[in-house]
Amino acid sequence: MRPPFEQASARDIRIVSAQLGRPARNVLGIPARCVCGAPTVVATSPRLSDGTPFPTLYYLTHPAATAAMSYLEAAQLMVEYTELLASDDAVRAAYRAAHESYLADREGFLDVPELHGVSAGGMPTRVKCLHALAAHSLAAGPGLNPIGDLAIEASSWKPTVCVCVDYGVDDEANADAPGGTPAEGES
């Protein structure tokens, strides 16, 4: 889902924190979900609460999706996709358009001068991070980011099949544990 995103609930934040193994931070919304409803991608503020510029608007959080992208990166699929960019004018043009779309989505939230022209995943000229590119494809929907689409297609993880674990966020005893409900204004 492109902006505006569905706002993250306190439960969503607990799930994302469990998925990441650390407290979620500066979550703007949930642009993509598993078929079961759990967050798959979070939208993160372009400037973190500590002032740090953060270029990755679309952040892949689903553990199985993240593991699948890590496997593809370890298998050197990024090299193949970089060669595809160099040899296919249509893919290169679509990837550049995906880059421009990513910038527009992020700048719609906040203009961060330090991030001008910087998107994510190596766009628009190389393939650097399949996690970021898959997150963009999942958030924007198929057809916008050709490399993200190819990575999702090549992966063992499929967005139409739930493989979520029990994150333990519905247990009342966990509400105050790390990854529990954040304090007012935190994420």
Taking all residues of the chain, what is their mean pLDDT, rounded to a whole number? 91
Q: Confirm if 103 and 40 have CB atoms less than 8 A apart.
A: no
Tell me, rounded to whole angstroms, the distance of Cα 128 from its chain centroid. Answer: 14
Q: Which among 170, 172, 173, 169 has a CA at the least distance from the CA of 17?
A: 169
pLDDT score for 1: 65
11-31 pLDDT, tens digit per residue, is: 999 999 999 999 999 999 999
Tell me the per-residue pLDDT of 64-85, one tens digit each, with 9 for 90 and over.
999 999 999 999 999 999 999 9
Mean pLDDT for 46-71 is 97
